[in-house]
A = this chain, B = another copy of it.
Amino acid sequence: MAIRVQREDFDVGRELDALSVGNRRVGGLCSFVGLVRDMNEVAGAKSGVEAMTLEHYPGMTEKQLEEIEAEAHRRWPLEASLIIHRYGRMEPGERIVLVATASPHREAAFEACHFLIDWLKTKAPFWKVEETDDGAARWVEARDSDDAAAARWAEKAGGSL
């Protein structure tokens, strides 16, 4: 189990390798990388995204990510997991977040990885402000679809957070 909140980019291959190296019980390794798109997330906006800046709540962020990760380990048989989330200014194409899970079982690795990113999206205290090519800066609004995705996992198991 590990979480990292950092300004700098990360090396996906090296991070994933570290999750299973030396552990012969790992049969499946699932990962998700979130990247900055150039499409606008602000409702109705037609402009392209030049960059975005991620602000977060130091202290609470780490606490929330650790709780989310611990919850995943309570629900699924995981051998290892990792959450890395960046903050600061990023341009389209840059990596924002990595979540990864290693398990003896494929299904557990997939579900736990999906759970991690869904819960992170609605619980980790990060906020995005987009700079668009019309010169504006706008706070991205939370999406109902993210709430719905997170709620799925609340229904499936008795775990609490």
Query: Which residue from B16, B21, B27, B117 sits with its C-beta under 8 Å from A37?
Result: B27
Asked if A159 is at the interface (CB within 8 A of a chain B CB), the reply is no
Asked if A30 is at the interface (CB within 8 A of a chain B CB), the reply is yes
Do A38 and B25 form a contact, CB below 8 Å, given A31-B31, A107-B149, A114-B110? yes
Decide if B107 touches A32 in the complex (CB within 8 Å).
no
Asked if A34 is at the interface (CB within 8 A of a chain B CB), the reply is yes
Interface residues of A in 94-134 (CB under 8 A from B): 104, 106-107, 109-110, 113-114, 117
A57 to B28, CA, bound (A): 24
Asked if A12 is at the interface (CB within 8 A of a chain B CB), the reply is yes
User: Closest Cβ of chain B: how far from A103's Cβ, in Å?
Assistant: 10
Do A22 and B93 form a contact, CB below 8 Å, given A27-B35, A27-B37? yes
Chain A interface extent, by class: 35 or more
* Residues of A in contact with B (beta carbons under 8 Å apart): 11-14, 16-17, 20-39, 92-93, 104, 106-107, 109-110, 113-114, 117, 145, 149
**Chain B residues in 8 Å Cβ range of A32:** 28-31, 106, 109-110
User: Closest Cβ of chain B: how far from A143's Cβ, in Å?
Assistant: 11
User: Closest Cβ of chain B: how far from A33's Cβ, in Å?
Assistant: 4
Do A16 and B21 form a contact, CB below 8 Å, given A27-B37, A30-B31, A106-B117? no
**Chain B residues in 8 Å Cβ range of A14:** 13
